[in-house]
Amino acid sequence: MATIKIKQIGSPIRRPEHQKKILIGLGLGKMNRVVELEDTAEVRGAIAKLPHMVAVVD
């Protein structure tokens, strides 16, 4: 299965609780952390909800 690398570029400070939970669900939580996850619809949907806090790394 294909994988995707995600980098956190925004801080969870002063963000709604549901956005913080999405970050934790993706395995993020600290600035500039990079995780590699399977490229699924669920992961893509979580990224779409946080375009201001995460970026896809090539």
Give the residue-averaged pLDDT of 21-38: 97
Q: What is the pLDDT of residues 31-51, one digit of tens each?
A: 999 999 999 999 999 999 999
* Residue in this structure with the two tokens 């400070």, named with its chain if needed: 13
Give the residue-averaged pLDDT of 10-34: 97
**Close Cβ partners of 6 (under 8 Å, ≥ 6 residues apart):** 26, 28, 34, 35, 36, 37, 43, 47, 54, 55, 56, 57
Give the residue-averaged pLDDT of 17-26: 97
pLDDT at 39: 97
Specify the pairing of strand 54-57 against strand 3-8.
antiparallel
33 CB neighbour count, 10 Å cutoff:
13
d(CA 21, CA 1): 25
Q: Model-level pTM?
A: 0.90
* Domains, the chain, ordered by start: 3-57 (3.30.1390.20)
